């Protein structure tokens, strides 16, 4: 597959301004609706696995390991497009999100909004988080 | 204005997990189209000015000062919605972007994409950057 996305790795590694920990922040956006689902981090390995498999992988800072989105919860992200910003310090992945992106069981993580002079929760829990991470 | 967005500041400052430099990363998204325009940083003052004026302000790390988006280029962002993610380490502002968001003269900053095994520029320059920052 000479035109496979993974062939773009040298270009990408040159274009991304990884931070001192070798990480870049990533925004995940739902294809079509444009909904911003979540933000997380990738290192070189996460980028490589994402492009190679078409399933979005991140680097977990808290667990110190590579993580395939949905590996426990089943709420996977299939890669549609991989983009880098002008100064290389942010990545945008456009994805097909299965189910809910947020560990709270909401569709996306940006569920707190300013309403009437207060910060309010404006998105419903769609799946019980205990169901997402059981077993 | 008891229900003014700025009244939500104590809630917001409690909810946001500012980093060691007192900053939080911010994603700007166009209302309606859902287009991701750019990412930048806010500190407490930038959040306060944004909510107070309805014009999006950021903290410039390179210049070490508060910055109203469009102050030189005229490419302003009017705030529509202010959101915080589940763990408080990212902010999403939904905005009405005037003109182009990117300093390269493109509508948004995420203009490099993987195409045919290479990283390619997939968005056109709409405004000459020299026109944006002249004078």
Please answer yes or no on whether A84 and B5 come within 8 Å at the CB atom: no
DSSP class of B8: G
- pLDDT value at residue A1: 43
Has residue B88 got a pLDDT over 90? yes
Domains along the sequence of chain B with CATH: 5-101 (3.10.20.810)
Name the more confident of B3 and B38.
B38
Query: For position B96, what pLDDT does the model report?
Result: 98
- Using the beta-carbon criterion (under 8 Å), do B119 and A15 form an inter-chain contact? yes
Q: In this predicted complex, what is the ipTM?
A: 0.93
pLDDT at A135: 62
Check pLDDT > 80 for residue B127: yes
Q: Are A129 and A112 in contact (CB under 8 A)?
A: no
Rounded to 10 degrees, what is the CA torsion of B55, B56, B58, B63? -50
Contact B119 A36 (CB under 8 A): no
Task: State yes or no: pLDDT of B39 exceeds 60.
Answer: yes
Q: Are A79 and A95 in contact (CB under 8 A)?
A: yes
Reported as half-sphere exposure (CB side, CA atoms, 13 A), residue A69 has a value of 33
Interface test with A, best of B81, B83, B126 (most A CBs within 10 A): B83
Q: For residues A99-130, b (16+ Cβ closer than 10 Å) or e, as one string?
A: ebbbbbbbbbbbbbbbeebebeeebeeebeee
pLDDT in tens, chain A (135 residues): 446 788 999 999 999 999 999 999 999 999 999 999 999 999 999 999 999 999 999 999 999 999 999 999 999 999 999 999 999 999 999 999 999 999 999 999 999 999 988 999 999 999 999 999 886
Q: Which of B60, B91, B93 is nearest to B77 (CA)?
A: B93
Q: How much is the pLDDT for B1?
A: 43
Element (H, E) at B53: helix B44-53
Write down the pTM of the prediction: 0.94
Interface residues of A toward B, Cβ cutoff 8 Å, are 2-8, 11-12, 15, 25, 27, 29, 33-36, 38-39, 51, 81-87, 89-90, 92, 102-104, 106, 109-114, 116-119
Q: How confident is the model at residue B50 (pLDDT cuts 50, 70, 90)?
A: very high
Mean pLDDT of B101-123: 95
Task: Band the pLDDT of B3: cuts 50, 70, 90.
Answer: low
Asked if residue B4 has pLDDT above 80, the reply is no
pLDDT given at position A134 = 81
């Amino acid at each position: 597959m000479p035109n496979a996305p993974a062939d773009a790795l040298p270009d990408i590694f040159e274009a991304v301004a990884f931070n001192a920990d070798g990480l870049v922040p990533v925004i995940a956006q739902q294809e079509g609706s444009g909904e911003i689902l979540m933000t997380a981090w990738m290192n070189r390995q996460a980028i490589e696995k994402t492009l190679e498999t078409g399933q979005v992988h991140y680097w977990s800072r808290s667990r110190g390991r590579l993580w395939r989105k949905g590996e426990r919860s089943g709420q996977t992200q299939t890669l549609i497009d991989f983009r880098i910003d002008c100064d290389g310090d942010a990545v945008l992945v456009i994805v097909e999100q299965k189910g809910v992106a947020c560990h709270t069981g909401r569709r996306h993580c940006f569920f707190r909004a300013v309403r009437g002079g207060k910060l309010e929760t404006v998105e419903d829990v769609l799946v019980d988080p205990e169901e997402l991470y059981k077993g």
